[in-house]
Every structure is written in structure tokens, then in C-alpha cells.
Structure 1
Amino acid sequence: MTETTPVPFSAEQQQWYEQACARLDPERLKQLLFALTDIHSPTGAARAASEFMASHLSATGMNARYQPMTDDSGNVLAEYRGTGGGAALMLYAPIDTHLECDDAERSWTGGQTEADMQPRAKMQDDWVFGLGASNPKAMVATLTEIATALIESGVPITGDLLLGMADGGMPVDVSARQHAGMSNGVLHMLNRGAAADFAVVMKPWNWVYHEEPGMGWFKLRVHGTLGYAGVPRGTPGFRSSVVPAAAVIEALEEWLIAYAERNTSGVVAPHGWISGIRSGDPERAAFPSAITELFFDVRINPRTSPAEVKAQFADFVRDLQAKRPDLVLDWEMYGSVPGGTTDERNWVIQSAKRGWEHIEQRPHGTPDLLGGQTDGTALRRYGVPTARIGWPWPAEGSPEVLAEGLGGMGATYIPDLMPCARKIMYIVIDTLTRTRSELGL
């Protein structure tokens, strides 16, 4: 990891920073988070949430607009201009949630009844619960509070502050909504006016990251023949696709573990998980399926292209078929997002680390390896140097029982967010009170 470059605040900048941080209001943040969480915004249907935030940001004094993509989907882009001659810094978070939480999803999500899995918000003391209350809506609310506090403080900024909030940020592909997801919203935003010199993405985990992985989606099919339950085993011409799939799953799981170890570099550990199995028809249990399909997501290091990952998986399938010539397999890569990286020496990365160290009162050091993918990859791929910074996650001490597995994406303890807000405010003051030449632009 690159050492943090010291660029001390002037006495005036320190005063501005303290002035802006003094306006950060956790109660206001909590009320906004509750209101936003109470607006259901699954991927591809975030219009109501985005329109709400556009209106809210306009009321704070920002020039905010709603950017429609479809009848049900759109983004928010807001701007607060400085006196001129400085950089444009965008604070960014997605606004859509990863689940619908409707009856149709309960067959595979488990039908949770916990507070963090509900599309309606619940508040208890300093906790806010509800689908996406932590990821992504705590990020949206925190970035909004930072912008609001900056404006209220009257700090004279030179550069321009942008706030971007996009639909389609979840790693999903919702075909019924024009294939929303996989960063389609932020790409729409970047092509329509969101021109920034630097960006900060707020996401869980209390580190600064200069890079993030992409992802590759694969389907692996095991072929047999359509069967009938009344046929004895060993009958010529009948081959199960389901039973051999068990051996394929074990081999694939071993490959995914080895793949992550083989492709780990920088601060990225590109894990992969088998996501599901699809085969047969429960209404026709007497007829074993001719095809059993496995599908999985594997993360892609910024120094490895999706094409290289595809080639690595092709090698695995060839090796597996050589060891098991009885298997009939075919496969496809049906989704790909490349990873993205920013030079660790870039201003926004160094500023983020200075802000982190200012609050934590210790050297940043090497962060935990990262496997989570965000829209930050798209920002970096579009040439916007981007820092990812966050807060400790998941929150501890919840008064409500949370769902296992992804439990925590819908539970936020407001005091956990405030140190991160002060870290990002540091970046804002550090960046927007300097000229472009001071920032190396």
C-alpha cells in the first residue's frame, strides 16, 4: 500500500472543517433515512425514491434534478457550485434495493419476517430498519447530510459539489424492467451531465479502497435425458442430469476457492459462490429433468479482464470433462462487469486516507481484502478517480432480530454513520477549497 501523503489543512481550512462538521445533525439524518427507507425502491423501480430525493436536495439549496430512464426508473443528480476555478467532486451512492420482498421472492429468499427484510421502515431509538436501510439508503442519507451541513455552514468553496444517486446499482439483471441493474443507472448518469474530476463512493466497511472488483456470471449445464420415475436404474438410454450435477457442484466449489486464491492481488480477493440450481418441474416429479443448470457469480480483479476469467473457466470445464468423460456439459458467460482501479497516489485517494486517519487517529495501513462490487467500478472505468470509504458493518447490538446471511443490509445504527460523515466532510473541505492546480488538475 502507498503511504499517505501529508497535506495539512491551513488554519482557515481547519476552521471551515470544524464549522461544517458542527452542522452535521444525526437526528436529521435519521429522519431522512426513515422517510427514504419507507419508500420501496427495488432495482428498476426507484422513481418514487429518486423523485423524493431530488425534491429534498432542492430544498437544501442544491440545484437538483430527476433524470428519468423509464416510466418507473430514474436517477438524481444535484450540484452546489463554488466560486470557480476548483474541482468537481461527486459524492455517490446507489438508491435501489437488491430485493423486491414480494410473495414471488419468498420461494428463494426464505420468506423472512425480520424487520430488516420489510419494504416499510421501522424506527427504534437510534436504529432504522427496513429493506435497504443500511445499504444503500444509509449512504444516500449520510451523503445528503454532508451536503446539507456544508451549505448551512457557509464555507466558501472553490470547486463544485455534486451528489449522484442512481437506480440500477445492485448486482442484478431485472429483465422485466429493461434489464435494470449492473450499473445501468450510473452509466446513464455519467453520459448525461455527471462530469466530475473526483468521486467518493460510500459503502460498508471502515476502510478506504482505491479499487473494486467486477463480476462474471456463468451458467453450467449438466445434460442427461428426460426420464420417468418408473424406469429402473441402468435402463439403456436413460441418463440422469441431476445426480451427476452433485459431483459437478463439488468440483465447481473447489475451483471457485482456487480461483479466488489464484487471482487475488492488490486489495481485491475475487470470491465466487454458486448461486442456484435449476432443474425439472415440481408439478411433474415423475419425470426427471434432461438438464440441470448451475449458475454462479465470480468476482473479477481489476487486473484480470472478463475475457481472461472466461478462459480460466473454460479450462476448468475441459479438465472436468477429461476426468469425467461420462459428463455432458455446456456453459456460457451471461453477465460481465470489469473491475476498476484508481492510482493510490491520486488526490482523492490520498485525501480520503487523510480524512480516515484524522478521525481514526491511526495510520490507515492495509485494508481487509475486498470482494464487494459497486458502481465505483463504472466511475473508474469512465475515467473518474474514485475512492470508496465506509463505516463498520454490520451494525452490532440490534434491538430487533435480523435475518441471517444478508442480515444487516436493512439495519442501521445512526451513531455508526457519523464518523464516516466526518471523514467524507474532510475530503469535501480538502478538495473543494483548493484550486485545480493545487489538486494536480
Structure 2
Amino acid sequence: MTHPDYAKAAAFISADNVRTLLMDLVDISSPTGSEIGVAQYLVARMRKSGMDTDLPLVDTNRPNAVGHRRGRGDGLNLLFTGHMDTSYSGQEEHLRDAGLGFQPKAIHRDGWVFGLGANNMKSGLASALIATEAIERAGIELAGDISFGGVVGEIEKTAIEEFQGVEYSGYGIGTRQLATHGVTADFALLAEPTGMRISVANLGCIWLRITVEGTVAHSALANRPNVVNAIAVMHELQTDIAKWSKDYEAAHVFMGEHPNVTVAAIRGGAPWRLSRNPYECSLYLDIRTVPGQTVESVKRDLRKVLRGFADRKGIAEPKLHVYVSDPPLLLDDKLPIIEALGAAQKDVTGERPPNIIRRPGADAIHLTAYGVPCVAFGPGGRMHPEAKNASSMHSFGEHVLVEDCVAAAKIYLAMALDLCSRKAS
């Protein structure tokens, strides 16, 4: 049932104020490692609206942006959250002339906002903050607290080998700091782009490196029978891995979605010294998992493939090194936040689409693991008509429909009023 003060608060949500906040956020460049400008902006805005604020450091010059709107203290507490870092900086050579959606400069055109981060996920941050501000401006007292956490380092990247530094420090580092340093709640709403569908589950992810060894030798002597070319060996191994990948993807399914295996990188040899036989070659796999799978079960399956290849070739088993292990997520769809969110969406839009499982990694996984059940729901994901032939937002450039951001803000508002009016048991 709609909260009696919903209309009073909803009057403070408009296309103009949602769009203005979104465009302000997009205009602040915030690639992974350089999120401080957005954090400072959010905290200043939350402080101005009357919230208690903090800028807790995750790393040098990398604070999360935290705000709290206190309730009476006897109700359910809610955390709105989302990441401030963007997938790219816009300075990458292949993106400089790629289009509007690849630069940290907001452009409003025909009801759409284009710009780096517009979709993922400054649109969600804007909608959630506007909803929180609307409650404050309407002067509504709630039983529970509403907190806001803009986090650093969510983008799926991690430091490995020579790729070190804050620009590689992602995969939930900000959210883990949030959850282990007192920013908790009974439930959390992650405003990730879900196409306005409620995500009650998430694929997990494993990143691993497989390394085969060759022989140290001069290239002029590489034709000798005892010289092993590591790249050639890896080329053969890839055939076995491709077969395993196909079987793996077919064997697992959840909510209609199959996991997938991507050969995401390969390294071997020295381009600057081709006079040396490649004595090592590494293949890097991104393996998605569905609820019910574990990292250990996937490792065992893959090692069976590696042992079989090694036995057939008469070589040592290729080395396997896991360096990202993000578990899959599955929420109980009877949770109060999911019930309240679904009812809010139905009240605001007249529709309640089926729940989904989300494929890309998300901070909902980390918050839930730390005891804060987190559902993902956000305004991004709808593709512009001109992008109908694009494979994804990543190939066309980021954009979001302002109308969806406004609807999301109103849904967040209705959900927060409902949930935070409930007494904690």
C-alpha cells in the first residue's frame, strides 16, 4: 500500500532535478582509482540536504561517499548504494573518437543523457539520492534509517603481474570497506542498471591464469626436436579448453541463463626479442558461474582437462592460478525489500516485470556476503533506438533515458517509505 506521505515527497522529484544531478555526476571524471571528485560532490550535496556525512578512505585519495538520514531507531534500516567509478577514463586511444557515450561529458538530447558513466551507474546514484533528498525535503519521519553509500572500485578489474596501482583496484574494494567499517543496514538497494527489473540473483566470476612452459633457446635453434615452443603448446591446449568450455556452458543453467567462458587474454614470448623461443605462455580465462557452483568445483573440472592434456603430450601439468573468485548470488525472493520494491514498482509504473538474474559482476554479492541482503534494481540498460544494432552499451557508448531515471527515483522513494516505516522485529 502506498505510504500516506508518498505524494508529498514525490512532488520534489522531477525530470529537471534528476537530469541536472545526473549530468553533474557524468561531468566529473571518475575512472577506477580517481573517484574522489564524485565522492566530494556527493558528500557536499548530502550535507546540504541535512544528512550526516563521512568520506572514509579506502586507499590514498580514494574515499567512499557516505551519508545517513536518521530515523527514530526502531524500524528497518535501508542502504542505497552504487559505485562511482566508470568503466573507462575516456582517454583510451580506441575511445577518443568513439562517440558521445565514451567521454566524461554529459550531453542531453531528446530525453536521453549521453556520457561516460551515464548508464553504469551514475544514473542509479542520481535517482537514489534524489529519492532520499525528497524524503528529507518533505520532512517525513521514519522508523528506520536511510543511508547512502557511493563506493570506489567496483569495476571488474584487479591488479596482477605488472598491472599494479589504484587504477587496477576494483572488484568490490569500496563495498567491502563499507560493510566492514560500520555502514550496514537491514537491507540494501544497489542501483545498478538492470533495465528496471528486480535482480534477485547474480552470476559469479572466476578469473584464472593457465601457464605452459617451453624451452629457453635461440630461435635459430627452435627447429631442434628437444625445443618446446610454449605458444605452440598453448595453441593445442586451447582446443581442449574450448571443448570443455562448450560442455561447461551447456551443463549449467539458472533462471534461464547459462554461464560462459571467455578467453580474455593471452601472453607469450617477447615481441622485442623474437630471437628467443617462447619459454612460457599464459592464457587468461573469465569463467562465469551460477548459484550452486563453487570455485573449487570449477578448479577440479579444469584441472582434469589440464591433466588429461599433459598426459597425452607427455609434459608437466600446466599451472593454474586463480586470482579473482566472486561467488554467485541468490536472494530469497520473499525478503521484505523485494516485496516492497515490487509493490513500489507496480504502484509507480503499473507493471511488475519478472525477477531476473544479472550477468555482470555487482557489489550486491559483497554486501550480501557481509550480512546485508542486497537487491539490484536501476534505471540503466534501455538501449537508444539508434543503438538497436549494437551488441551492447559497451560498443555504442553509455546513455540513459531520463524518464527511466525519474521512474526509478519514484520507485526508490515508495520502497524506502514502505520499508523504513516497518518496525524491526
Q: Give the TM-score normalised by structure 2.
A: 0.89
Instruction: Give a deviation string over 1:133-181, Cα, whole Å, max 9, x none.
Output: 2102111111111112222233332211111111011111143129621
1:148 maps to what in 2? 133
Partner residue in 1 for 2:376: 388
Q: Distance in 2 between matches of 1:421 and 1:407?
A: 27
Deviation larger for 378-387 or 246-255: 246-255
Partner of 2:113: 128
Give, as a single letter, the amino acid of the residue that structure 1 aligns with 2:322: M
Where does 1:182-331 land on structure 2 (aligned, <5 Å)? 182-205=171-194, 206-226=196-216, 228-231=218-221, 233=223, 235-266=224-255, 269-325=258-314, 329-331=318-320
Matched to 1:220, the amino acid is I
Q: Is the 8 A contact 2:205 2:286 kept in 1?
A: yes
Does residue 25 (structure 1) correspond to residue 3 (structure 2)? The answer is: no
Residue by residue over 1:105-143, the C-alpha shift from the partner in whole angstroms, topping out at 9 and shown as x without a partner, is x4xx67653222224444435333332221021111111
5+ residue gaps, structure 1, are: 1-7
CA offsets, 1:68-114, max 9 Å, x none? 222221101111122332111011111112224445xx4xx676532
2:362 equivalent to 1:374? yes
Query: Residue 121 of structure 2 contacts residue 380 of structure 2 at CA under 8 Å; is this kept in 1?
Result: no
Equivalent residue in structure 2 for 1:333, among 310, 322, 334: 322
How many residues matched?
420
Asked if the contact 2:74/2:423 (under 8 Å) is kept, the reply is yes
Write the distance in 1 (CA, Å) between the matches of 2:331 and 2:167. Answer: 31
For residue 324 of structure 1, report the CA deviation from its aligned partner.
Answer: 4.7
Partner amino acid for 2:329? G
In structure 2, how many angstroms separate the alpha carbons of the residues matched to 1:397 and 1:323? 52
The one of 403, 413, 421 aligned to 1:433: 421
1:33 match: secondary structure: helix
Taking the aligned partners of 2:349 and 2:236, their CA distance within structure 1 comes to 48
Secondary structure at 1:281's aligned position in 2?
A: coil
| Contact preservation (8 Å) 2:69, 2:145 | yes
CA gap of 1:403–1:299, structure 2 versus 1, over 3 A, is closer
* Identity level (%): 21
Q: Which residue of 2 aligns with 1:5?
A: none
Q: Which residue of 2 aligns with 1:57?
A: 46
Q: CA deviation at 1:46?
A: 1.1
2:278 and 2:168 map into 1 onto residues whose CA distance is 28
- Give the Å deviation of 1:17: 2.1
Query: Would the alpha carbon gap of residues 257 and 57 (structure 1) be closer, same or farther in structure 2, given more than 3 Å must change?
Result: farther
Query: Residues 222 and 353 of structure 1: is their aligned pair in 2 closer, same or farther, counting only changes over 3 Å?
Result: same
Q: CA RMSD in A?
A: 2.8
Equivalent residue of 1:303, what SS? coil
8 Å Cα contact 2:106/2:113 also seen in 1: yes
Tell me the equivalent position of 2:337. Answer: 348
Worse overlay, 158-167 or 178-187:
178-187
- Aligned-partner Cα distance in 1 for 2:51–2:91: 35
* Distance across 2 between alignment mates of 1:101 and 1:228: 41
Note if contact 2:31-2:167 (Cα within 8 Å) is conserved in structure 1.
Answer: no
Task: Report the AA paired with residue 156 of structure 1.
Answer: E
Seen in structure 2, the aligned counterparts of structure 1 residues 258 and 227 have a Cα distance that, compared at 3 Å, is same
- Relative to 1, partners in 2 of residues 1:232 and 1:78: Cα closer, same or farther, differing over 3 Å? closer
Give 1:22 shift: 2.8
CA contact (8 A) 1:244 1:327 kept: no
**SS of residue in 1 equivalent to 2:174:** helix
Q: Which residue of 2 aligns with 1:397?
A: 385
1:46 pairs with one of 14, 35, 38: 35
Q: Is the contact between residue 98 and residue 172 of structure 1 (CA under 8 Å) also seen in structure 2?
A: no
1:171 to 115, 132, 156: 156
Q: Which amino acid aligns with 1:223?
A: E
1:71 paired residue number: 60
Q: TM-score, normalised by structure 1?
A: 0.86
Residue 211 of structure 2 aligns with an amino acid whose one-letter code is: R
Task: Provide the secondary structure at the position in 2 that maps to 1:407.
Answer: helix
CA distance in 2, matches of 1:185, 1:271: 27
- Can you give the 5+ residue segments of structure 2 that lack an aligned partner in the other structure? none
Given that 2:291 and 2:329 are in contact with CA atoms closer than 8 Å, whether structure 1 keeps it comes out as: yes
Partner Cα separation in structure 2 for residue 42 and residue 262 of structure 1: 37
Alpha-carbon distance in 1 for matches of 2:339, 2:312? 50
Measure, in 2, the Cα distance between the counterparts of 1:269 and 1:422: 33
Report the Cα offset of residue 338 of structure 1.
2.0
C-alpha distance in 1 between matches for 2:217 and 2:63: 47
Q: 1:405 to 1:30 in 2, by over 3 A?
A: closer
> CA separation of 1:229/1:309 partners in 2, compared to 1, >3 Å: closer, same or farther?
same
